Amino acid sequence: MTRPEVNSDLNRGASLIDATPKQQRNTLALWLSRLEGPQTLGSGRWFWLTLALAVLAAVIYPLFVDGWTVGNTAYFLVWTFMAMGLGVIWGYAGSLSFGQTAFFGLAGYGYGVLTLNFGAAYGFTLLALALSVGLAALLAVVLGYFMFYGRVQGVFIGIVTLSVTLVFQAFMAQTAGPEWAIGAARLNGFNGMSGMPPLTIPWPGGDVLLYADIALYYVLLGLMLVVYLGLRMLLNAPFGNVLVAIRENPERAEMLGYDVRRYQLLGFVLGGALAGLSGVLYTAWGQYITPSSMSITAAALPVIWVAFGGRKDVTATLIGTLVMIFLYQWLTIYGSQYAIVVMGVILVLTVLFAPEGIVLSLMRWISARLASTGGRP
Amino acid sequence: MSTLFSFLFQFGDAFAFLVIASMGLAIIFGMMGVINLAHGEFIMCGAYTTVSLAQLGLPLPLAILGGSITAGLIGMVLERTIIRHLYHRPLDSIVATWGATQGVLIVLGSTMQGVGTPLGSFTVGGFSYSTYRVVLMGIAVLLLVSLYLFFYHTRAGVIARATIQLPRMARATGVDTGKVYTLTFGLGAALAGLAGGLYAPTMTLVPTMGATFMVESFVTVVIGGGDIFLGAAPAAAILAVIRSGMTAWQGQLFGQIGLLITVIIVIRLLPGGLSGWILGGRK
């Protein structure tokens, strides 16, 4: 799957030393070149043209619909970070975490507690965002340390992470009494916290409050693009190659001299931080967070999105997630409680008949067609 | 004296809960390497069937048996249709077990009126204890003993273990391994249904009640490791001490948190679980 970079370094031999200063000059070019690579699908003029058109469509989209719909679309974007993070852990590093919602919930509650205590002045909400994501990453470091450095195998990671999120849920659900408060922020048990300020960007001549509206939509769209392109570069960098090498064959990666545990932990922390980012954005989007955001159903949803899209490619994950969230909301409106059953059925069908993911299989098929026609669509 | 009895009762109660709740999961995981995320749904299915049958006038033990059999049958159907195709993909099998049983939640629908805890109570040193809980402790021990006898001293049990250890060899000697897998999965599901049936009289029936059992049974299986008797049973005993201690000190939820912290520390020290450690030490 991946060519071990140890070999290529050896082949290049002494010339590597001479090339160093030049490489430093070209760091930016190097990273930009990693937008395309072996670990991500999509390359060449047609791919980037399609992406540019998709972004353009997303940018002009608010001109054609009302504010509520735009706010609702922003809600879809909120979840993509958690999904892409799960894609890194599960698809690229090969360890299924069934409890990404633990990081989501922790960061969401963290944002609530911080902003309810310190308000939104001087851009504090942005600091609260960073701190809450940091908190989620810290939990991922602790949990990941015990799991990966204990060399826990595949399925156990799923159970332990799921247990963590279920215990978090049970814990938050029993915090109804007035004694459960952190500073000015009541935790409110099963009803959850509400009333925290939205993300607020300090701006000369009046702060910009990012309610679930057009401004928030653009911020989220920009953030999603940055994270998506950033992940593409990271996954095609040596880091991503090593993650894939570990997924394909941990022993071989170890023999090649990589500390498997450290790479798995780093991937896990990255995924935890991205889930935390989703948690903060979700809380800021609707100005509430409840324990049910950490329930087993909530925990399973990202797994469904990623499985449906295709966990081994970040683009497929992203597209699959957006499609599934849209579908889930549509089903919830028209089929109420049967929505989750349909999700379950889709999940089972995907796992049985398109184990690589439906979007990913489609993308592979399209690129194979393009290749056979010599690059012309 | 009465304090000692109180602690023993708490311990026995926690032990019984952990054993009964986790046995179905432990068998499916230990024998087939599949983590059954539908475990909670099987438990719930057993509980709802039990209560429905009991309300129709069936005596409670028969109703519990009915709940267990229903869950077992559903488990066998699930294995035949879906799990079968995923044995070489353990991560996907986790995901599929969850997806496949979401319909159960809707079919069972809303909260149901429970049946009261039978058998009344007795008093030791001024504290009143439920007799039914003592019966549950007996059942937990009985369950462990009979599973041991089944897997180690009956022909069917030996065939099952042979199939798990060397499927191709077992097939070569004429064992229908597919059938063994189906029956083993069914047994695991039936034990989960039994757990639901046994605990149905002691709790409120809501569609999400399976989740109450999930954490405890996961933790027991993770700490226990692959072997049911060398792993899950001693794990349940150790965890019962921790859980009853934490529960007595801070309440039910802290019992659960204590379990979770234990499991996170234990996987760092004994990644193969207790049974991996015991079996590894023996080599």
At A204-226, the pLDDT tens digits run 777 777 776 788 899 999 999 99
Residue of A nearest to B270 (CA): A150
Chain B residues within an 8 Å CB radius of A90: 91
pLDDT of residue A65: 86
Chain B residues within an 8 Å CB radius of A170: 215, 253, 256
Residue of A nearest to B92 (CA): A351
* Contacting residues for A241 by C-beta, under 8 A, at least 6 apart: A2, A5, A38, A39
Position B262, amino acid: T
List, for residues A137-171, the tens digit of each pLDDT value: 999 999 999 888 877 767 788 888 988 888 888 88
Chain B residues within an 8 Å CB radius of A344: 98-103
- Across the interface, which of B208, B219, B268 has its CB nearest the CB of A149? B268
Q: Shortest CA distance to A147 belongs to which of A102, A106, A107?
A: A102
Pick B117 or A192 by higher pLDDT.
A192
d(CA A248, CA A2): 9
* Contacting residues for A234 by C-beta, under 8 A, at least 6 apart: A34, A240
- Enter the tokens of residue A256: 């090649």
Chain B residues within an 8 Å CB radius of A341: 102-103, 105-106
Q: How many CA atoms lie within 13 A of B242 on its CB side?
A: 22
- Across the interface, which of B102, B221, B253 has its CB nearest the CB of A344? B102
Average pLDDT, chain A: 84
Residue with tokens 């760091």: A27
Average pLDDT, chain B: 80
- The answer, for B99 touching chain A at a CB cutoff of 8 Å, is yes
* Contacting residues for A152 by C-beta, under 8 A, at least 6 apart: A160, B267, B271
Q: Shortest CA distance to A80 belongs to which of A298, A254, A228?
A: A228
Residue A126 confidence (pLDDT) above 80: yes
The C-alpha of B26 sits at a distance from chain A's nearest C-alpha, in angstroms, of 13
Pick A279 or A66 by higher pLDDT.
A279
Per-domain residue ranges of chain B:
2-282
d(CA A299, CA A101): 5
Strands, DSSP E only, in chain A?
A: 181-182, 185-186, 193-194, 199-201, 208-210, 288-289
List, for residues B118-132, the tens digit of each pLDDT value: 766 677 666 677 788
The C-alpha of B100 sits at a distance from chain A's nearest C-alpha, in angstroms, of 6
> pTM (2 decimals)?
0.85
- Across the interface, which of A160, A166, A348 has its CB nearest the CB of B267? A160
Q: What's B205's DSSP letter? A: B
Tell me the pLDDT band of A302, cut-offs 50, 70 and 90: very high
Chain A residues within an 8 Å CB radius of B256: 167, 170
Residue A5 confidence (pLDDT) above 70: no
Residues B101, A296: C-beta atoms closer than 8 Å? no
- Across the interface, which of A151, A296, A343 has its CB nearest the CB of B271? A151
Residue A7 confidence (pLDDT) above 70: no
Residue of A nearest to B255 (CA): A167
Residues B263, A163: C-beta atoms closer than 8 Å? yes
d(CA B32, CA B52): 32
Residue B208 confidence (pLDDT) above 80: no
Residues B99, A167: C-beta atoms closer than 8 Å? no
Residue A283 CA to its chain's centroid (Å): 16
**What mean pLDDT comes out for the span B31-42?**
82
- The answer, for B108 touching chain A at a CB cutoff of 8 Å, is no
Chain A residues within an 8 Å CB radius of B80: none
The C-alpha of B184 sits at a distance from chain A's nearest C-alpha, in angstroms, of 19
d(CA A127, CA A132): 8
- Across the interface, which of B96, B211, B263 has its CB nearest the CB of A348? B96
- The answer, for A158 touching chain B at a CB cutoff of 8 Å, is yes
- Kindly report the number of other CB atoms within 10 A of residue A185's CB atom: 18
Chain B residues within an 8 Å CB radius of A149: 268
List, for residues B138-191, the tens digit of each pLDDT value: 888 898 888 888 888 888 888 888 888 788 888 888 888 888 889 989 999 999
Residue of A nearest to B258 (CA): A167
**What mean pLDDT comes out for the span A246-252?**
91
- The answer, for B218 touching chain A at a CB cutoff of 8 Å, is yes
Q: Shortest CA distance to B182 belongs to which of B95, B78, B68, B94?
A: B78
Residue with tokens 């609707």: A286
Q: Shortest CA distance to B196 belongs to which of B64, B29, B107?
A: B64
Residues A164, B260: C-beta atoms closer than 8 Å? yes
Pick B231 or A300 by higher pLDDT.
A300
d(CA A195, CA A112): 8
List, for residues A325-376, the tens digit of each pLDDT value: 999 888 888 866 778 888 888 888 888 888 888 888 888 888 888 777 655 5
Chain B residues within an 8 Å CB radius of A338: 106
pLDDT of residue A23: 57
Position A228, amino acid: Y
Q: What is the ipTM of this complex?
A: 0.82
pLDDT of residue A14: 42
- The answer, for B179 touching chain A at a CB cutoff of 8 Å, is no
**What mean pLDDT comes out for the span A38-48?**
82
Out of A14-18, B128-132, B149-153, B227-231, the most confident range is B149-153
Residue with tokens 């001693």: B234
pLDDT of residue A374: 57
Tell me the pLDDT band of A11, cut-offs 50, 70 and 90: very low
Percent of chain B whose pLDDT exceeds 90? 5
Listed by number, the residues of chain A in 61-90 with a beta carbon closer than 8 Å to a beta carbon of chain B are 90
pLDDT of residue B103: 65
**What mean pLDDT comes out for the span B1-19?**
80
Listed by number, the residues of chain A in 263-302 with a beta carbon closer than 8 Å to a beta carbon of chain B are 295-296, 300
List, for residues A87-118, the tens digit of each pLDDT value: 999 999 988 898 899 999 999 999 999 988 88
- The answer, for B54 touching chain A at a CB cutoff of 8 Å, is no
Three-class secondary structure of residue A37 per DSSP = strand
Percent of chain A whose pLDDT exceeds 70? 90
Residues B102, A90: C-beta atoms closer than 8 Å? no
Pick B241 or A16 by higher pLDDT.
B241
d(CA B223, CA B200): 26
List, for residues B72-92, the tens digit of each pLDDT value: 998 898 888 888 888 777 778
d(CA A57, CA A54): 5
Angle between helices A100-118 and A154-173 (to 10 degrees): 30
Residue A299 φ/ψ, nearest 5 degrees: -70, -30
Residues A296, B40: C-beta atoms closer than 8 Å? yes
- The answer, for A159 touching chain B at a CB cutoff of 8 Å, is yes
Tell me which of 1.10.287, 3.30.470, 3.30.70, 1.10.3470 is the CATH number of domain B2-282: 1.10.3470
* Secondary structure element (H or E) that encloses residue A238, with its range: helix A238-248
> CA torsion A214→A215→A217→A220, rounded to 10°?
180
pLDDT of residue B72: 92
Strands, DSSP E only, in chain B?
A: 121-124, 127-130
List, for residues A256-291, the tens digit of each pLDDT value: 999 999 999 999 999 999 999 999 999 988 888 988
Chain A residues within an 8 Å CB radius of B208: 295
Chain A residues within an 8 Å CB radius of B43: none
- Across the interface, which of B35, B91, B264 has its CB nearest the CB of A146? B264
Residue B28 confidence (pLDDT) above 80: yes
Out of B2-6, B62-66, B212-216, the most confident range is B62-66
